[in-house]
Amino acid sequence: MSRDLSSLRQQLEAQLNILEDRGQRIEQRLSDPGSPDWEENATLHEDDEVLTALSEKAEGDIQEIRLAIQRIDEGTYGTCVRCHSPIAVQRLEALPFTANCITCASHA
Ligand SMILES: [Zn+2]
């Protein structure tokens, strides 16, 4: 593979750090019993659903990125985890932490 996997790994790790950081901040907000400013507090509660959705999405992304880094380390990066076909380079460029080739992804 001609792609520079070590720089990709660094990029994924940087992204992972950002997501973990964001996830922690979202969880802090969700677990915060409330701000003394009731008006702000009301807004926070309205946002709870949005924040929970964001936090769940971030967790999914974090998991995906961790697995992608693991696949780089194992030397299986760029190979579909389902059918073991090579994943198209264009697809990896668009979705660096994808684990499935386009065929498997479209059958998901
Ligand atoms: Zn596949």
Residue 3 reports pLDDT greater than 60: no
Q: Could you tell me the distance, in angstroms and rounded to a whole number, from the CA of residue 17 to the centre of ligand 1?
A: 28
pLDDT digits (tens, 9 = 90+) for 45-95: 667 888 888 888 888 999 999 999 999 999 999 999 999 999 999 999 999
Q: Which of 26, 52, 30 is nearest to 41 (CA)?
A: 30
pLDDT of res. 37? 61
Q: Could you tell me the distance, in angstroms and rounded to a whole number, from the CA of residue 3 to the centre of ligand 1?
A: 20
Concatenating the DSSP letter of every residue in 27-68 gives HHHHH----SSHHHHHHHHHHHHHHHHHHHHHHHHHHHHHHH
pLDDT classification of 29: cutoffs 50, 70, 90: confident
Structural domain boundaries of the chain? 1-77, 79-108
Which token pair is 86? 């090579």
Q: Could you tell me the distance, in angstroms and rounded to a whole number, from the CA of residue 63 to the centre of ligand 1?
A: 19
Which token pair is 55? 């936090």
